[in-house]
Amino acid sequence: MKPFRFTPILKSLIWGGDKIAPYKGIATDQPNIGESWELSGVAGDESVVADGEYAGRTLPQLIAELKEELVGRKVYERFGTEFPLLVKFIDARDDLSIQVHPNDALSQMRHGKHGKTEMWYVVGADEGAHLKSGFTQRITPEEYERRVADNTLTEVLCDYAVRPGDLFFLPAGRVHAICAGSFVAEIQQTSDVTYRIYDYGRLGKDGRPRELHTELAKDAIDYAVQQDYRSHYEARRNVETELVACPYFVTSLYDLDEPVEKEIAAFDSFLVVMCLAGSGRLVDDKGCETPIRQGETLLVPASTRRVRFVPDSEMKLMTSRL
């Protein structure tokens, strides 16, 4: 079974920019594309297989048909036909709202849904690009409410100038925002539960201020303070560099100018492969070759025992699995 390619779901958003379509090498008349959902099982936004024998099937339909062959036995037993990750490219021309996501327990209690832990890998950054993550000082829930009301919340949020290759891990409960000039690849739990805390007084498409979730967010926020909210790693050539390992996903980086082989049979999991730069091929254990280039995402079935990443000249990949 060869890797699957899906049609990206493009989202026009008020803060969206103009980088996603040329980055992915696609033509579109949509303005202000802020997000490209590469792999999604979110209800109403299910990814659709782009080509091959299974073309036209949604991701949940594909899982229902192929079961553990596609996602792995343990993953299928746990999630059924729900794909457990939501994979995106995000292009922010303007600042996104300041947000927080509840953890699994709180989200299940309130909404009957998964919580949301996520990560950002900075693919590109304009001059002045920045991100917000975490608090600069300890505040109380009462101070949080006051700062939302008097528009001073940003004064106690860490703001990071970013450049390509920067990495941020965002466990549920961490206050955060993608800000102007940032182009990121995002891996997250499959969840649409987001609490908007602050939106700079911005108006939505209907001309009204967008809804805030001040009270809901109050109990979801982790108020602990860390010295540094960035994640650090040592970039290496032609080897696997683990970026994040958490209960919800394991993500690695490959910066290649020669082939590298990855054994995946023992994981009992699918493998998501995002091409961040360059181009090349994925060659599976049966010798089947699947081309991949910058901006594309492939889903490698769990039944694949090993995969070989072969760059045309240079290629940068990010992989994620359970």
Residues 6+ apart with CB under 8 A from 204: 14, 210
Of residues 209, 211, 198, 106, the one with CA closest to residue 144: 198
**For residue 188, what pLDDT is reported?**
98
Of residues 135, 195, 194, the one with CA closest to residue 159: 135
**203 pLDDT more than 80:** no
Q: % helix / strand / coil in the chain, to the nearest 5?
A: 15, 40, 40
Asked whether the beta carbons of 134 and 158 are under 8 A apart, the reply is yes
Q: What is the CATH architecture of 240-321?
A: Sandwich (2.60)
Asked whether the beta carbons of 69 and 2 are under 8 A apart, the reply is no
**204 pLDDT more than 90:** no
**206 pLDDT more than 90:** no
Cα–Cα dist 280/275, whole Å: 9
Please compute the mean of the pLDDT values over residues 75-92 and round it to a whole number.
98
How far, rounded to the nearest angstrom, does the alpha carbon of residue 259 sit from its chain's CA centroid? 26
**Three-class SS state of 210:** coil
The pLDDT confidence band at residue 205, using thresholds 50, 70 and 90, is confident
**For residue 210, what pLDDT is reported?**
84
**63 pLDDT more than 90:** yes
**Three-class SS state of 280:** strand
Q: Mark 215-224 as b/e (b = at least 16 C-beta within 10 Å).
A: ebbbebbeee
Neighbours of 267 (CB within 10 A): 16
**For residue 217, what pLDDT is reported?**
98
pLDDT digits (tens, 9 = 90+) for 264-310: 999 999 999 999 999 999 999 999 999 999 999 999 999 999 999 99
Given 196, 210, 230, 293, which residue is catalytic?
Answer: 196
- For the chain, the farthest-separated pair of C-alpha atoms sits apart, in whole angstroms, at 61
Catalytic residue check, 196? yes
Residues 6+ apart with CB under 8 A from 95: 15, 177, 178, 179, 180, 200
How far, rounded to the nearest angstrom, does the alpha carbon of residue 63 sit from its chain's CA centroid? 20
CATH class of the 4-220 domain in this structure: mainly beta
**For residue 162, what pLDDT is reported?**
98
pLDDT digits (tens, 9 = 90+) for 215-255: 999 999 999 999 999 999 998 999 999 999 999 999 999 99
Please compute the mean of the pLDDT values over residues 17-24 and round it to a whole number.
97
Distances (CA, A) of 91 to 26, 272, 301: 15, 20, 28
Please compute the mean of the pLDDT values over residues 178-206 and round it to a whole number.
92
Asked whether the beta carbons of 292 and 241 are under 8 A apart, the reply is no
pLDDT digits (tens, 9 = 90+) for 153-191: 999 999 999 999 999 999 999 999 999 999 999 999 999
Cα–Cα dist 246/284, whole Å: 26
Cα–Cα dist 66/51, whole Å: 16
User: What backbone phi and psi angles, to 5 degrees, belong to 131?
Assistant: -135, 155
pTM of the predicted model, to two decimals?
Answer: 0.97
**23 pLDDT more than 90:** yes
**For residue 242, what pLDDT is reported?**
98
Domain boundaries, the chain: 4-220, 240-321
The pLDDT confidence band at residue 208, using thresholds 50, 70 and 90, is confident
Please tell me if the domain spanning 4-220 has the same topology as the one spanning 240-321: yes
The pLDDT confidence band at residue 30, using thresholds 50, 70 and 90, is very high
CA atoms within 13 A on the CB side of 161: 3
> How far does the chain reach from its first CA to its final CA, in angstroms?
19
pLDDT digits (tens, 9 = 90+) for 91-145: 999 999 999 999 999 999 999 999 999 999 999 999 999 999 999 999 999 999 9
